[in-house]
Amino acid sequence: MIKVAVWGTGMMGQGLLRYLLDRPKDVELVGVIDRHPEKHGLTVGEVVGSDCDIPVTADHDSVLAKRPDVMCILTASNLHEISDQVEPSVRAGANVLCIAETLSYPWASDPAWAERFDALAKEHGVSILGTGVNPGFVLDALVVMWSSACLRVDRIEAQRINDLSPFGPTVMISQGVGATVEEFERGVADGSIVGHIGFPESIHLIARALGWTIDEVVETREPIVSTVERSTPHVHVALGNVCGCRHIGKGYSNGELKIELVHPQQIHPEMEGVVTGDYIRIVGDPNVNMVNSPEMPGGKGTYASTGNYIPLIGAAPAGILTVVDMPLPRFWAPSV
């Protein structure tokens, strides 16, 4: 039995909780933390629709007092937002798995943060690992896996084409869906349209695994302009307006383009014949030309891969790790 605690009961946390409750002979769920007052007093069972009577609490000390082996943090995207969750967990001797996109390679966005938490984790003999499907799998670890069958890797191009239609109004705004082209350009400039979080991280993960030096990462966000009308319950896109954001990250070594990651996110891609999927192209010897269609779903893939690292993190060395420092990951079959 591995003692696991979960921090965060939003969509991602709920998905991971269901995954954990599916493994009653493998996982002892020792506590669940959420800072939102509306979750307090609820049981995990009430939150995820099962019969688990563990209460959701804001009191992380009471959960950490139960000495979890692993703390799974599913709360936010940025390092400064997770500091207050990672730090007490590490000090309590728990290994940390966390879906914050920037934690997949924290040296990219905040090297000082990475250095501080790497030292703290080593001091307490625990590991910190950023997990998720993107970054963490499709556009980095899976690319690295494929490269292992190559004699030569000259350049990597990977693309993840997905459908934003199921998402709510917040995502529509942050991706610029429904905006005019002018509004989109303004939103990119003022930072209100962000696109994807994780390109510098994925690029550096590939480089770390392959021993490449990437000295420049360039990101661009382009409007996907619709030539048809598209709608969801939350947004209407008039002809000529923006139905999504084509976000591109490029990694250069000495001025040479080595890694190009493309992530166009839009509503109803099928209306203009765009097929969703995960695409990996390695230009080398031999070439790789991989498609997974439709794409690995972002939500399920993220909490699945987080859960599937639980049995692997216990044997990992202390400090901040990345998915390319870990064993070959695999599905964790529940004991019967």
Interface residues with a second copy (CB under 8 A) are 15, 19, 22, 133, 137, 141-142, 144-153, 209-212, 284-286, 288-294, 296-297, 300-301, 303-305, 307-308, 323-333, 335
* Of 229 and 325, CB closest to a second copy: 325
**Shortest separation between residue 46's beta carbon and a second copy, angstroms:** 21
* Of 1 and 189, CB closest to a second copy: 1
* Of 52 and 310, CB closest to a second copy: 310
**Shortest separation between residue 31's beta carbon and a second copy, angstroms:** 22
* Of 193 and 310, CB closest to a second copy: 310
Rounded Cα–Cα distance for residues 320 and 102 (Å): 12
Q: Please count the residues of the chain.
A: 336
* Of 117 and 137, CB closest to a second copy: 137
**Shortest separation between residue 210's beta carbon and a second copy, angstroms:** 5
Rounded Cα–Cα distance for residues 244 and 214 (Å): 28
**Shortest separation between residue 223's beta carbon and a second copy, angstroms:** 29
Rounded Cα–Cα distance for residues 97 and 174 (Å): 26
In the block, residue with structure tokens 């938490």:
117
* Of 240 and 297, CB closest to a second copy: 297
**Shortest separation between residue 82's beta carbon and a second copy, angstroms:** 22
- Give 190: exposed, middle or buried? Use CB within 10 Å, 0-12, 13-18, 19+: exposed
**Shortest separation between residue 211's beta carbon and a second copy, angstroms:** 4
CA atoms within 13 A on the CB side of 15: 20
235: Cβ contacts below 8 Å, ≥ 6 apart: 169, 172, 177, 178, 267
Rounded Cα–Cα distance for residues 65 and 217 (Å): 42
DSSP state of 43: B
Rounded Cα–Cα distance for residues 308 and 318 (Å): 19
Token pair recorded at residue 303: 């909490």
SS3 state of residue 121? helix
SS3 state of residue 50? coil
